[in-house]
Chains A and B, each alone.
Chain A
Amino acid sequence: MANEVCLRNNDLERPWLLEQYQSRGGYEQLKRILAGEITPAQVIDEVKAANLRGRGGAGFPTGMKWSFISREAPGQKYVVCNSDEGEPGTFKDRDILRYNPHQLIEGMIIAGYAIGATRGYNYIRGEFWEPYMRFQGAIDEAREAGLLGENILGSGFDFDLHVHLGGGAYVCGEETALLESIEGKKGQPRFKPPFPAHFGLYGRPTIINNTESLCSIPVIIEKGGKWFSEIGVANSGGSKLFSISGNINKPGVYEIPMGTPFAELLEMAGGMRDGRKCKAVIPGGSSSPVIPGEQMLDLTMDYDSIQGAGSMLGSGAVIVMDDTNCMVRVLERMSYFYYEESCGQCTPCREGTGWLYRVVSRIENGQGRPEDLELLEDVTRKIAGRTICALGDAAAMPVQGMLKHFRDEFEYHIEHKRCKVGA
């Protein structure tokens, strides 16, 4: 059972066109809702029953997030979609924007109806020009067809939708940094609480969800929350898009049920390139701690399974590495990323990410000292949990994961001033 939700129209020719989307029942759920067949409360109940957890990485239940906003509260409310896909290894939302933009639009309108919001923004990372053009084309088509704008399909419900393009900043994928960015500021995360449900975009109640989460909504309404939930396993409803890349034969985006064994996903992705050994897997984007290949081959792709192995399902970005890769080198590159992308607001992250990068880098370059591994662990403890947003934790966790599972490679580097792998 693959490609049942977000990628369900990928077999069509030019699936991004309105007529193609409608040939598969597109916008029919919106019509049912606007006709009063389904109330806003029922929409939220279905999303809760679907057991849909936020697909951006944090895994917060989507239905619960929506229920924090009172539909009756007066004044402007907003629906914001997070298409600032930047977690290294993740490339699924790009495919949604390119191949199924109308389903995302329908999901956003339904979300707006559920919480009583009349305006939405989709924050698309600035580098995604082709996906942006596709999505904007779909907005224009939908507006032309009376599916967006004032008095949608004569229902009296208004909803308009715009794109906001990012400018190249990983931290803007953090929801409050993203809101700051739409407000025309540096993308520095806000302290929470208050949460966006109470104080969001322009200070108004806002729900902000990942592209994949919102794109799943029309199918959940059509087939029922129970149907969606039962595709997956306990605590991880539905299917999920996995972006799998690395040293494999067929990297790509695969939409498969939650709980699918990793071994099956790897097989779908063509297996290891050149028949090499699966040495290490980053299961949920570069912020999730690495898992040794042998252990990973016994796990299933769902929240509880990956968490049980000390890592996170995150955004479902699976990076597979074979035995030619030096883990010190990999960690050096990852640590550089967080150092580069720290927004600079919180001292532990701004300074700590620099420490992590410099120390890992000197180990990689043969300048490591015996006490460096303890130093690294100490720095991670001084970052994690001490910052406004999760970027600090995201910088600390990969270091902890690498030192836990591949400590010998780091020790070898320090002692012999060269690489154990011989790469």
Chain B
Amino acid sequence: MGFKNAPMTTVKPVEGKENLFSPEVRAEIDSWIAKYPEQWRQSAVMAALRIVQDANGGYLTEALMDQVAAYLDMPAIAVYEVATFYSMYELKPVGRHKVCVCTNVSCMVNGSDKIVDHMEQKLGIKLGETTEDGRYTLKEVECLGACGGAPMFQIGTKYYENLTPELVDSILDGLE
């Protein structure tokens, strides 16, 4: 069969993996590596990037991606490919609270434009921007699969549904 389906272990495994990341981050990445066949460490790359991103205040740097590559015996380019392909990875600093607001059809017909306008005015930033004090980032996202509660947004791991401008105020003001 002409298909190549081997892990991309074209790099020589790096010595001293125990010097990469904190012990907690390593333990968490290892728990994901254990889910996959032994020769497929790279299957844990998405989890590893998420864990490293969370530990770094919500975004990835080239240095961190290189460390993930070293830890998983992957070429750095393969890690960059993953980090730039999926929308949940951030390659630039973000605010302490990343507000991911859905504007897809179900949310749109339920007034997500008004929610976006309200937040833009309240925070003085546009979608895609971060407040100067580093508290909030506004990010437009595609359908988050909670259309029954449209309009909605996600902050951190939590979904907030059936939003109104008043509810948005109380949610945002209630964050640290």
A-side residues, CB < 8 A to B, are 76, 85-91, 93-94, 121, 125-130, 162-170, 181-187, 194, 199, 202-203, 243-247, 251-253, 282, 286, 317, 319, 321, 325, 329-330, 333-334, 337, 340-341, 343
Contacts and interface: CB of A to CB of B under 8 A. Distances in A.
A169 B104 contact: no
A89 B47 contact: no
B54 to A, nearest CB: 11
Nearest to B149: A251
10 cross-chain pairs, A with B, having the tightest CB-CB distances, nearest first: A167-B86, A168-B87, A129-B157, A184-B42, A245-B147, A168-B88, A203-B5, A88-B143, A162-B35, A186-B85
Interface string B70-89: 00101000100110011111
B147 A88 contact: yes
Given A127-B145, A199-B3, A199-B5, A166 B86 contact: yes
B147 A87 contact: no
B37 A319 contact: no
A38 B81 CA distance: 46
A86 B145 contact: yes
Interface in B128-153: 141-150
Given A89-B106, A184-B46, 10 more contacts: A86-B143, A91-B148, A166-B86, A202-B37, A282-B105, A286-B104, A317-B147, A319-B109, A325-B109, A333-B103
A56 to B, nearest CB: 13
Contacts of B40: 183-184, 202
A169 B83 CA distance: 12
A340 B142 contact: yes
Nearest to A188: B85
Contacts of B47: 165
B109 A127 contact: no
21 contacts: A88-B105, A91-B145, A94-B146, A127-B144, A128-B145, A167-B85, A168-B87, A168-B89, A170-B142, A185-B78, A187-B85, A199-B3, A203-B5, A244-B148, A247-B110, A251-B106, A317-B147, A319-B109, A330-B105, A333-B105, A334-B105
B110 A184 contact: no
Nearest to A246: B109
Interface residues of B, number: 48
Contacts of B108: 329-330, 333
A130 B157 CA distance: 7
Contacts of B37: 76, 202
Nearest to A282: B105
Given A184-B44, A246-B109, A247-B109, A127 B147 contact: no
Contacts of B7: 183-184
Nearest to B144: A127
B63 interface: no
Given A90-B147, A169-B87, A202-B40, A245 B46 contact: no
Interface string B109-130: 1100000000000000000000
A169 B85 CA distance: 8
B35 A164 contact: yes
Contacts, number: 158
Contacts of A340: 142
Contacts of B110: 245-247
B145 A184 contact: no
Nearest to B159: A130
B50 interface: yes
Nearest to A93: B145
Contacts of B87: 167-169
A305 B85 CA distance: 38
B1 interface: yes
Contacts of B148: 91, 243-245, 251-253
Contacts of A166: 46, 86
Contact of B46 (A91, A181, A247): A181
A167 B50 contact: yes
A330 B109 contact: yes
A278 B101 CA distance: 26
A251 B107 CA distance: 12
Given A167-B86, A319-B106, A126 B50 contact: yes
B35 A89 contact: no
Nearest to B102: A88
B158 interface: yes
A53 B109 CA distance: 30
B43 interface: yes
Given A91-B148, A184-B42, A169 B86 contact: yes
A84 B111 CA distance: 25
A252 B110 CA distance: 14
B3 A185 contact: no
B85 A182 contact: no
Contacts of B36: 162, 182
A199 B1 contact: yes
Contacts of A186: 81-82, 85
B164 interface: no
Nearest to A247: B109
A89 B74 CA distance: 37
Nearest to B48: A184
Nearest to B86: A167
A187 B109 CA distance: 30
A333 B141 CA distance: 12
A168 B144 CA distance: 9
Contacts of A330: 105, 108-109
